[in-house]
Structure 1
């Protein structure tokens, strides 16, 4: 299998979701599933961030001017729906569905047109950069598809083609840090001052004072950083073959 990785970059005030993510750098969107047919697209996305940012995103994606993954910068008259499947203080799960029209297409539809069925899509969106991973068969040639993307997007959107390679090579690169600068600073400072030592050498409020941020903000940044690092570990390591300890150990 081969993986094609590229990123769309939205200029300010050309994409409402990108504007919200750029104003809230800790907020991220990643796909849980993405499926496409010749006429339809449906997907489920997991969004993490502060409550006010999630509120803004919920309102935006419910707006009639928003179409999930539509590359057009106009009303393309698509039938669509967006539903909130789950919501808590710092996470949101969205289901989106829309029907393709002659004036509106998407990355998955372009991929389907060029490569046929059997594709796997994975996306991650932070700030103005919307990164796509497409996995296709070993015989896939991505050249015409690259040209199609460049043709479909308008002058307000940039595209950067990051890499093409086999999935084994690509998987080895997923260990790269995807922490925001704020999360990185929080967890490095926490380690430096013994926050993760047993017993703990510094309390949360003391660590927050050193970073000059509220304690609630620090707790949120550490929680999100820990979750991201745990996900990266699971994605890049093999399961342990060691037996689990018995309940009376």
Structure 2
């Protein structure tokens, strides 16, 4: 089995859910379950964040033209149903069901066409970046999948490949067993070199983003993921073995 991890960084105004997450940096959405057949898709998502962020996300899912993972830029005529399964002060759980039309295209359906059957999907959506992890048999055409995906997203998002490797030793989007992707490592190197982590800081994130010629949201995302990786790697290494 192979693991494919990539991120879609949406441009403002292209995806209301992405815009809402970009406006609420404390919020994130993680898929609990995601399945697709040739003409249907259904998923359960777990969102966390402030009450204001969850209110805005609920509206984005229920009242906007957001169809679960549809990449069509115009109305594709899909039948979309979204329901709130659970809501608390800092948690929102949503169920989405989508019946596609010939004009519809989505990441899971493109993956089924190019990577084969029996795929497993894991997603995280935060700060305007939609990260996908796909476990696939390894017998499909990854290049054709990315070519068609780039055509589908057009100018609405940037595609960033994070990892393509065997699944052995991988621990998922949150696992400390992953290697640090090159883009995140470069962001971390630049942050250290330019004094972002010094006290007081010699450069802020906006200045660092300008120096690297990347959007501020992209740099913030990369630094956050790199810091998360390093923290989890440190805790995993330092945690003592406690007998059970």
When normalised by structure 2's length, the TM-score is 0.71
Specify the structure having the higher radius of gyration (Cα).
Answer: 1
Gaps of 5+ in 2: 181-227
| Paired residues of 1:2 and 1:140 also in contact (CA < 8 A) | no
Name 1:174's counterpart in structure 2. Answer: 175
Name 1:139's counterpart in structure 2. Answer: 139
Q: C-alpha distance in 1, partners of 2:145/2:169?
A: 21
1:93-172 matched pairs, under 5 angstroms: 93-171=93-171
SS at match of 1:143: helix
Q: C-alpha distance in 2, partners of 1:158/1:106?
A: 15
Mark the CA change 1:138 to 1:156 in structure 2 (over 3 Å): closer, same or farther. Answer: closer
How far the C-alpha of 1:169 sits from its partner, in A, is 4.3
Q: Deviations over 1:172-223 (max 9, x none)?
A: 882279xxxxxxxxxxxxxxxxxxxxxxxxxxxxxxxxxxxxxxxxxxxxxx
Q: C-alpha distance in 1, partners of 2:129/2:51?
A: 21
Task: Report the aligned-residue RMSD.
Answer: 2.5
| Paired residues of 2:34 and 2:42 also in contact (CA < 8 A) | yes
Q: How many residues align?
A: 188
Name 1:26's counterpart in structure 2. Answer: 26
Q: C-alpha distance in 1, partners of 2:169/2:139?
A: 16
When normalised by structure 1's length, the TM-score is 0.69
| Paired residues of 2:116 and 2:140 also in contact (CA < 8 A) | no
Q: C-alpha distance in 1, partners of 2:156/2:32?
A: 27
Q: C-alpha distance in 1, partners of 2:102/2:24?
A: 34
| Paired residues of 1:44 and 1:93 also in contact (CA < 8 A) | yes
How far the C-alpha of 1:40 sits from its partner, in A, is 0.2
Name 2:191's counterpart in structure 1. Answer: none
Name 1:220's counterpart in structure 2. Answer: none
How far the C-alpha of 1:160 sits from its partner, in A, is 0.8
| Paired residues of 2:44 and 2:95 also in contact (CA < 8 A) | yes
The list of structure 1 runs, each at least 4 consecutive aligned residues, that deviate by more than 3 angstroms after superposition, is: 138-141, 240-243
How far the C-alpha of 1:64 sits from its partner, in A, is 4.9
Name 1:63's counterpart in structure 2. Answer: 63
| Paired residues of 2:116 and 2:136 also in contact (CA < 8 A) | no
| Paired residues of 1:81 and 1:97 also in contact (CA < 8 A) | yes
1:1-249 matched pairs, under 5 angstroms: 1-171=1-171, 174-175=175-176, 242-243=243-244
Gaps of 5+ in 1: 178-227, 244-249
Q: Deviations over 1:72-120 (max 9, x none)?
A: 1111111010001111000111000101112211000001111232100
Mark the CA change 1:76 to 1:168 in structure 2 (over 3 Å): closer, same or farther. Answer: same
SS at match of 1:62: helix
